[in-house]
Amino acid sequence: MEDKLQKVNRELLQIVQGSPIATFVINKEHIITRWNKACENLTGLSANEMIGTKKQWSIFYSQERPVMADLVVDDAGEEEIKKYYTDKYRKSAVIKGAYEAEGFLGEGVLWFFFTAAPLRDAEGNVVAAMETLQDITERKIAEAIEEVAAEELRKTSEQLKESAAQLIQAEKFEAVGQLASGVAHEVKNPLAIIIQGVNYLTRHVASEKNIIRTLEMIKSNVKRADSIVSALVDFSRATKIELHPQDINSVLENSLRLVEHKLKLKNIKVIKEAREDLPQVLADKGKMEQVFINIFLNSVHAMPNGGNISIRSYLAPKGRLSRSLQGKGLARLDKLGEGIDARSEYYSKFSKRAVMVEIEDTGVGISQENVKKVFNPFFTTKGPREGTGLGLSVTKNIIDMHGGIIEIKSEEGKGTKVIVALKIDGDE
C-alpha cells in the first residue's frame, strides 16, 4: 500500500511531468533533477542526457553561465539577477525569491518568457529551484508586426493631417486670394477716378504752387495705394501653380535677364557657378522667375553702392541627406559639406535628392531680429514708397506651393544668402 506521502509525491511528479509548460528543476548543487516532456519538446534535449548534469545553460547560451534557476537556488539576490538580466527581469509578485523575464535567447532565434522559483524545505531554506520556459516567439512576431502596422498607421495619419493642413492652408489662401482681388477691384476703381481728377486739377490750377505740390502728393500716394493692392493680388495669385519639369539654370538665366539693366545701373557684378548636369526640377517657370527676380531685386536694394551677387546651383545628393540625419531636429546642412543650414523640415520633405540654388549678395545684410520676420506679409525695411513688404512673403508662398524650402541667412554689414531647395522631377 502506497502511503500518503508517496501518493502526494507521485501526483506532484505527474503534475510537473505532464505540465504543458517546459519545466526543469536543479538541486542546491546546480545539478538537473527534473526535465519534463514539454522541456524535451521545447529544447530538443532529452531528460536522459540532461538529468544529472549541470548543462542547463546550453538551452540558451553557447558557453557556460548561470541561468536564472542557478541564481535563485543560490539565493543570489536581486543585484546578481540584475547583473545577468539587466532590466529585462521582474520580481514575482506571488512567490518570494522568484523572478521572471523575457528575452531573445537561443542564439537570437527564439523569444522566451521564463520564470525561476525557489523550492524550500520545512525550515524555509532553498534546497532546489524550478525554472519554466515558454516560447513566445510567435507572440513577439505578432507584436512586432502590430508595432510596425501601428507605426505605419501613425505615419499615414500624420501625413493625412499634414495634407489636411495643407488643404486648409490652400483653401485659406484661395479665400484670401478672392478677397484680395475683390478688394483690389473695389480700390482701383476709386483710385482711377482720383488720379484723373488730380490731373484735371493740376491743369486748371497750374498757377498755385502749394496746390500743385498737394496734388502731386495725392498722385504719388494714389500710386502707392495702387502698388499695395496690386501686390496683394500678386500675393494671392501664388495659390495656383502649374508644375512642369524645368531646368533651374535656365529659369535663373531668364530671371537674371529681366533684372540685368538694374544690376548694371547699380554696378553689381554677377558671379555664376551653375552646375551644368542638374536633373530637372518640378516647377512653375513663371512663378520661379518671380521668386528669383524678387530675390535679385532685394539684393539690388541691399547694395546701393554696388557689389556682388553670387549664384550657385548644385545637387544635394541623396547620400548627403541620409537617414542618419533625418528626424534629428535641427540637422545642419553644413555638416553635409555645403556650408549652409536648413530646418528639420528639409529632411522630412527631402529624403531624396534636391536641387539647391544659393543667391548671395555683399549688401547691407539683415539684423538677426529682422531676419525672422522677412517672410511676414507687409514686413519691410524699405521706405513706405519703396516696398510693399509682400515680395518675400509671395516668394515664400511660391516655394511652399512647390513643396520646396527657402532659407535666409544674413549678417549685418556683410551680406545675405538665400537658399532654395527644390524637388527633382521623378523623385517622389
Partner 1 sequence: MGKKKVMIFDDEEDFLEITKVNLEEAGGYDVLTFSNAKDIIAEVHRFEPDIILLDIRMPEVDGIDACQMLNNDSIGSHIPVIIVSALSKREDKVIAYKKGVAGYLVKPIEEKDLIAKIEEALRGFE
Q: How far is the CB of 363 from partner 1 (least distance, A)?
A: 31
Cβ-contact 141, 121 below 8 angstroms: no
Please identify, among the stretches 51-59, 127-135, 193-201, 405-413, the one whose residues bind partner 1 according to the rule CB under 8 A.
193-201
Q: Which of 54, 140, 188, 285 binds partner 1 (CB under 8 A)?
A: 188
d(CA 407, CA 330): 13
Sheet holding 99-105, edge to edge: 32-35, 22-27, 126-135, 110-120, 99-105, 89-91
Quote the least distance from Cβ 291 to partner 1, whole Å: 17
Among 101-109, 180-188, 356-364, 374-382, the segment contacting partner 1 (CB under 8 A): 180-188
| Stretch of 48-56, 183-191, 384-392, 415-423 lying at the interface with partner 1 (CB under 8 A) | 183-191
Looking at beta carbons only, is 20 or 190 nearer to partner 1? 190
Q: Which residue has the cell 513706405?
A: 384
Region of 171 (left: φ > 0; alpha: ψ -120 to 50; beta: rest) is: alpha
One residue of 75, 82, 149, 200 binding partner 1 per CB under 8 A: 200
- How far is CA 278 from each of CA 106, 344, 418, rounded to the nearest angstrom? 52, 24, 19
Cβ 218 to partner 1 shortest distance, Å: 12
In sequence order, the 6+-apart residues with CB closer than 8 A to the CB of 77 are none
Options 157, 199, 250, 322; binder of partner 1; rule CB under 8 A? 199
Of 33, 58, 137, 181, which one interacts with partner 1 (CB under 8 A)?
181
Judged by CB under 8 A, does residue 270 bind partner 1? no
CA 216 from chain centre, in angstroms, equals 54
189 binds partner 1 (CB under 8 A): yes
Instruction: Candidates 96-104, 190-198, 276-284, 306-314: pick the segment binding partner 1 (CB under 8 A).
Output: 190-198
Number of residues located near partner 1, criterion CB under 8 A: 23
Stretch that binds partner 1, among 179-187, 257-265, 312-320, 344-352 (CB under 8 A): 179-187
At its nearest, how many Å lie between partner 1 and the CB of residue 243? 18
* Cα 275 off chain centre by: 28
The CB-of-180 to partner 1 minimum distance in angstroms stands at: 11
Termini Cα distance of the chain:
83
Asked if 377 interacts with partner 1 (CB under 8 A), we say no
Nearest 5°: the CA angle 5, 10, 12 is: 95
Of residues 202 and 214, the one with the C-beta less far from partner 1: 202
CB of 193 to partner 1, least distance (A): 5
Q: Select from 127-135, 187-195, 275-283, 301-309 the region that touches partner 1 (CB under 8 A).
A: 187-195
d(CA 225, CA 233): 13
Q: Is residue 178 at the binding interface for partner 1, with CB under 8 A as the rule? A: no
User: Helix axis angle, 209-237 relative to 391-401, nearest 10°?
Assistant: 10
Q: What CA–CA distance (Å, rounded) separates 425 from 284?
A: 12
Interaction residues for partner 1, span 222-241 (CB under 8 A): 222-223, 226, 230, 233, 237
Check binding of 193 to partner 1 (CB under 8 A): yes
**Under rule CB under 8 A, residue 185 binds partner 1:** yes
Least CB distance to partner 1 at residue 254 (A): 17
CB 394, min distance to partner 1, A: 14
Residue-wise over 90-110: b if at least 16 C-beta within 10 A, else e? eeeeeeebbbbbbbebbeeeb
Q: Is position 196 an interface residue for partner 1 (rule: CB under 8 A)?
A: yes
CB of 191 to partner 1, least distance (A): 4
- Choose the stretch contacting partner 1; rule: CB under 8 A; options: 220-228, 325-333, 340-348, 388-396: 220-228
Q: Residue 279 gets which letter from DSSP?
A: P
Cell output for 301: 536694394
Taking CB under 8 A as the criterion, which residues in 7-36 touch partner 1?
none
Task: Report d(CA 234, CA 389) in Å as an integer.
Answer: 12
Which of residues 21, 119, 136, 191 is near partner 1 by CB under 8 A?
Answer: 191
Taking the C-alpha atoms of residue 56 and residue 65, their distance in angstroms, rounded to an integer, is 9
**Cell 538551452, residue?**
59
With a CB cutoff of 8 Å and minimum separation 6, the contacts of 97 are 72, 75, 117, 118, 126
Burial of 253 (0-12, 13-18, 19+ CB in 10 A): middle
Q: Kindly state the smallest distance separating residue 170's Cβ from partner 1, in Å.
A: 18
Q: Which residues bind partner 1 (CB under 8 A)?
A: 181, 184-189, 191-197, 199-200, 203, 222-223, 226, 230, 233, 237
